Structure 1
Amino acid sequence: MELRDIEIFLALAEELHFGRTAERLHVSQARVSQSIKQQERRIGGALFERTSRSVRLTPLGERLRDRLRTGYDEIMSGIDEAAATARGHTGVLTVGTMATHYQAITAVLDLFRQRHPQCELRLREILPTDPLRELRAGRVDIGLLWLPVREPDLVVGPVVHTEKMVLAVAAGHRLAERDSVELEDLGDHPVVVPDGPIPDYMWQEHTPAVTPAGRPIPRGLLVATLEEAFRAIAGGGVVSPIGSDVAATRQRGDITFLPITDGPVLRYAPVWRSGGETPLVRAFVQAAADA
């Protein structure tokens, strides 16, 4: 089966209309019909059920579509990557990270720059309380976000970084004298609440709503930025789990960071718009996987 015949079959499997398929592939309708008939003769079974009103896949056609789609996408991806390598990637790729998390993926950034020196790599900050806005607005091409991300318009790449959690408390807080805390301790202290449209399931990974024993964790002040969170914590009225990497860069005299012995481990991965996957995006994701 020629690659063009595979393209015709897959396009017809999506369009389920001979005329639209021919228009999409810039060929004649007769060419589409001829190709499908040849494939059916070669395979020995009908791939489509045709009537005067509709076209639909047979069970055999559905199985062939599912098997061919993966292989075809791999072939085209390989061709795109080879062509990009031959001519060199050019343009701008904007990567968004929360706070200083770009430091955690230095190996990825360095490998990408090494492979694609003609591409300008820009870094932009993403708010933890509103992590999807920059992506959906197109202001960043890829966001490094903690998982899970379960959004139908976004694609999640490989995990490139993990981060343990610590508890940020005021220096004069009664927990500050301890060497460590447990998640159960949060049932006795209000935590900061994100003032932004972060999906609940994402925030639950960062700060759960209940303790391991099922006690509700009190909700305290609303904060929109990391700096607002630190000011609220330093005031003593709230505490908050904080990523250990961020805590390491924000040492200050009015806040103490305590290890959470049974705290969650955040997993970070590149995330991009399903409709915004460019050769540069694929190149960055490949660098992330390789690094």
Structure 2
Amino acid sequence: MSSLDARELEAFLALADELHFGRAGERLYVSQSRVSQLLRSLESKVGARLVDRTSRRVRLTPLGEQLLAGLRPAFDAIVETIEEVRDVARGVGGLLRIGFQGTADDQIMNAVALFQSRYPDCATEIVEIPFSDPFGPVRRREVDTAVVLMPVQESELVVGQVFSRQPQSLAVPSRHPFAKRNALDAEDLAACSLIGVHGAAPEYWRRAQAPAATPGGVPISTGPSVSTLQEGLALVQADRGAMLLCHPTADYYGRRAVTFVPVTGLQDSSLALVWHRHHETARTRAFSQALAAVADAG
């Protein structure tokens, strides 16, 4: 086979994503005709058509689908390796986008400050990610790494530093009988209607935030589902249900109309730093180390 050209592979991958020659060209900053030329060159080297194009739509052929499945992870790995080597050569630089759920507490912000002091050439962006989609932004590369509520069972994600392990709190209206208690037992949840989470979060993660039964096996009523913490707390305030929250979030969202009562007998809540195993860089590793240093000091 004639030697492959990286530009041909880039054009094919962009076209596979966009399924439109014009948009693929815009993405690569080349003309539509240049995308067509690069594709024809790649097809001649492969010896078969990779894309079917009509006046109405563009789609991959079965052979194109096969090439995409094998090429995408390999090409991404090459790009990440080059970026990593470049980072090492010039020190950790560029941009690190850090996602968080709910609130960026003191540990997260202290880790960001430590990271910035260690790597002044690397800018950071702090991005709130949807409560109902904890892993999607990392998968879609909207952020480079994210602080999310445990548990994490996603095979493609690396779980780095786990921190802020503390008892959970139950958010109830301040007029609720539980609001007068100093603490609750997990079995008390059977008397509540728990507000859940809907959206793209996997079932195991949603059940961890709103269990269907107490540890003793007593069913817990299912309340309304929300996609944001603010929606959940608004429903708590309106006496539509109660909501389990991690301790930092309870502290941050404290308000007179809602009381947060510690719950014993449940697994402690904890936060974890995660990133995609195929998109790991020197920046993500350096931030993980900064977060570990802050967590150890705390």
**Structures share fold, TM-score greater than 0.5:** yes
Instruction: State the 4+ residue runs in structure 1 displaced beyond 3 angstroms.
Output: 83-86
Q: Deviations over 1:137-175 (max 9, x none)?
A: 111100111222111221111213323311111111122
**Hey, what's the Cα distance between the residues in 1 that align with 2:255 and 2:270?**
26
Is 2:277 the partner of 1:274? yes
Larger radius of gyration: 1
Distance of aligned partners of 1:186 and 1:156 in 2 relative to their CA distance in 1, 3 Å threshold: same
5+ residue gaps, structure 2: 5-80
5+ residue gaps, structure 1: 1-18, 24-76
Is 2:251 the partner of 1:240? no
Aligned to 2:132: 129
Aligned to 1:187: 190
Aligned to 2:153: 150
**Hey, what's the Cα distance between the residues in 1 that align with 2:120 and 2:198?**
39
> Shift in Å at residue 177 of structure 1?
2.1
Distance of aligned partners of 1:179 and 1:160 in 2 relative to their CA distance in 1, 3 Å threshold: closer
Counterpart AA for 2:188: D
What secondary structure, in the 3-state scheme, does the structure 1 residue paired with 2:167 have? strand
Matching of residues 48-127 of structure 1 within 5 Å = 84=87, 87-127=90-130
Aligned to 2:180: 177
**Hey, what's the Cα distance between the residues in 1 that align with 2:104 and 2:206?**
17
Aligned to 2:74: none
> Shift in Å at residue 102 of structure 1?
4.1
Aligned to 1:159: 162
What secondary structure, in the 3-state scheme, does the structure 2 residue paired with 1:271 have? strand
Greater Cα offset, 170-179 or 185-194? 170-179
Aligned to 1:46: none
**Hey, what's the Cα distance between the residues in 2 that align with 1:177 and 1:131?**
33
Is 2:221 the partner of 1:218? yes
What secondary structure, in the 3-state scheme, does the structure 1 residue paired with 2:291 have? helix
Q: Deviations over 1:75-100 (max 9, x none)?
A: xx9xx68x846622221100001122
> Shift in Å at residue 129 of structure 1?
1.7
